[in-house]
Every structure is written in structure tokens, then in C-alpha cells.
Amino acid sequence: MKTFVVILCCIFLFGCDELKEIKQSKAVFKIENKTIIDSDIAIFIARLEQHPVSIFSSIEYNQKTNEIIFINGTPDDELVNYLALTIGDFYLRGEHPLDKWILQSQIETAAITVKDEERYLALSLNQRGADKMKRKTRSNMGKAMTVMLDENELASALISTTLGKRFQVPIRNKSPKELMRILTIIKTGRLNSPIKLRQVA
């Protein structure tokens, strides 16, 4: 139903000829990594599917030519490269950079919530992660907890209460667009290495 509504809107905005042109278009990105493992390809495809880069695009991977093919619609090149180059090493740490508390593998669900115009990253941990979170927050009360992605600080907050299985961290200085990209990375997992792309068609 949603797709039908989108198509009707596009016909209204662009006309049938333009819509036909969109549906017939194709974009091809060559993967330039000399070696790449299957799990990285699977994660990258999952990122593209969870964070659509084009309204009408369907995505295919040609193993023989090592190419990602977008059939129907022109993808957002900048977004495609962001999803390819971001390794996705997401974790929560204490004040010391090497004191990692929670790893991506311990996160069960992630979502973006809004309360009083403040945006939050809402996380739910598995039991092992929840137990560790309780221990760490109890022993670090009044100290800072930092949320990291590929060595970039996403957020930092002082611990004022014991945290467990579910909690929220305020994320400031990030646009809704950036937050949705980050959420896609968290949900789809960590790449072993960045994927280098070159558009060939």
C-alpha cells in the first residue's frame, strides 16, 4: 500500500514519462577491495536494504564481476559510500578509551526516540550485557559514559543511576538523517574492513 501511494505521488509530481525513466535506470558500483569476505557483502547489502538509497531500487550483487547493481532509480552516492566505508565498530565505554563496557554483539535492539525535542538512542541489551552494564554503572557513578562509533564520539553523559537491560542515551549535534544512518549501522553489524566502491555505470 505504501509503495502504491509513493508511486501515485511520483506520477503526480513528475509525470508518467519521468516515472518510466526512473524505473528503467540502473547504477553499478564496482567493489575495489582486492579481497572481501562474504559476511561483509551480506552486511553491506543489509545496510542498503534497511536504509533505502532510492525509492524504487532493488539491489543485486554480481559475484562474478564483484559489482553492486541498483536496478530502478538512481541511488544517493554519498549515502552508499557512507554505508560502505563505515566499519561500524559501535560500543559504550568508560572514561578510559580502552575500558569498553558494551560491544555491538551485546545489543539486542536499537531505536531512536524523541522526548521534549531531545533525541535519544534507546538500547536493549542481552542478559550478559545487562549484567555488565549494572556492574559498570554502579562502580562508575558520577563518571562519564561515552558512546562510540569507529573511534568517533557520538555522545557522552554522566552516570547518575544504575543502568541495566534497557536505557536511553541523549544524542546531541546529530541531524535526524545522521541518526538514521547510525541506527542502520548498529542494526546490521560490523564490517571486517571498509568496502571501497567505484561507480562504473
Strand partners, 156: 146
pLDDT tens-digit profile of 52-98? 776 667 899 999 999 999 998 778 899 999 999 999 999 999 999 99
* pLDDT of amino acid 51: 83
* Buried/exposed code over 57-86 (b: 16+ C-beta within 10 A; e: otherwise): bebebeeeeebbbbbebebeeebbbbbbeb
Domain positions in the chain are 26-87+189-199, 90-188
* Domain 90-188, CATH class in plain words: alpha beta
CATH level 3 topology of 26-87+189-199: Alpha-Beta Plaits (3.30.70)
The whole-model pTM stands at 0.81
HEC string for 83-140: HHHCCCCEEEECCCCCCEEEEHHHEEEEEEEEECCEEEEEEEECHHHHHHHHHHHHHC
